[in-house]
Amino acid sequence: MASRAGALLVVLALAVALFLWYRSAPEDEVSHLVQVRDGAPSWSADGSRIVFHSDRDGNGEIYLMNADGSGIERLTRHPASDGYPCWSPDQKKILFDSDRGGNFDIWLMNADGSDPRPLTDNPARELAAAWSPDGEQIAYMSDLVGAFQIYVMNADGSAPQRMTMIYSNWFPRWSPDGTRLAFHVERDVHILQADASALTRLTTDPL
């Protein structure tokens, strides 16, 4: 039992170290973190297809496949790093992160990979975009003010609004009814009303 507990502590310590590195890592190092073999899958709304990122061809790109793993198709072709895709509720668009503009921004493309274009464009890193269930808004994380905070913008990239004000806040996800956002703050999960009116801490890390 003691050995298992010790192993768990080692794993948790490594996870925390990775988190702290990522929070302060230079742009070129973050690109290597995004470039995993295959990862960050996102289902189409009808459950028939999955979009994901991969560096199987030597660079971080966005790919599409059927739900059974067949029919793999590459959607992006760019020397920059593309990662963390998210399918729109109507299945017509895909959000993804890319540093093709010099730093990581939120990009949008058609579901067939055509017409890629940036939704954010500033010196900060914007990552981990997530569609609201109605497809009208996008939540994401940005280090525009230093530590990563949660932001929400319209689906066309307009009217970005900062939702959190303290600590480091990561990887937002919408509730099915679109009224709340779940994300992690340091090492715990929190939920926030979509109008930023109330923040609730759900977990307490024993470390």
Task: Please tell me whether residues 108 and 21 are part of one structural domain.
Answer: no
22 — pLDDT class (breaks 50, 70, 90): very low
**Is pLDDT at 17 greater than 60 in this prediction?**
no
pLDDT digits (tens, 9 = 90+) for 160-173: 999 999 889 999 99
Q: What pLDDT score was predicted for residue 167? A: 85
Task: Please tell me whether residues 126 and 112 are part of one structural domain.
Answer: yes
Amino acid at 138: I
207 lies in some domain: no
The stretches of the chain forming alpha helices (DSSP H) are: 2-24, 27-34
Task: Please tell me whether residues 6 and 65 are part of one structural domain.
Answer: no
Task: Please tell me whether residues 143 and 128 are part of one structural domain.
Answer: yes
Domain containing 6 equals 1-26
Task: Please tell me whether residues 118 and 160 are part of one structural domain.
Answer: yes
Residue 170 in contact with residue 128, Cβ under 8 Å? Answer: yes
**Is pLDDT at 126 greater than 80 in this prediction?**
yes
pTM over 0.85: no
Q: Which of 32-36, 145-149, 176-180, 195-199 has the lowest mean pLDDT?
A: 32-36
Task: Please tell me whether residues 1 and 32 are part of one structural domain.
Answer: no
**Is pLDDT at 66 greater than 80 in this prediction?**
yes
Task: Please tell me whether residues 134 and 42 are part of one structural domain.
Answer: yes
The CATH code of the domain that includes 166 is 2.120.10.30
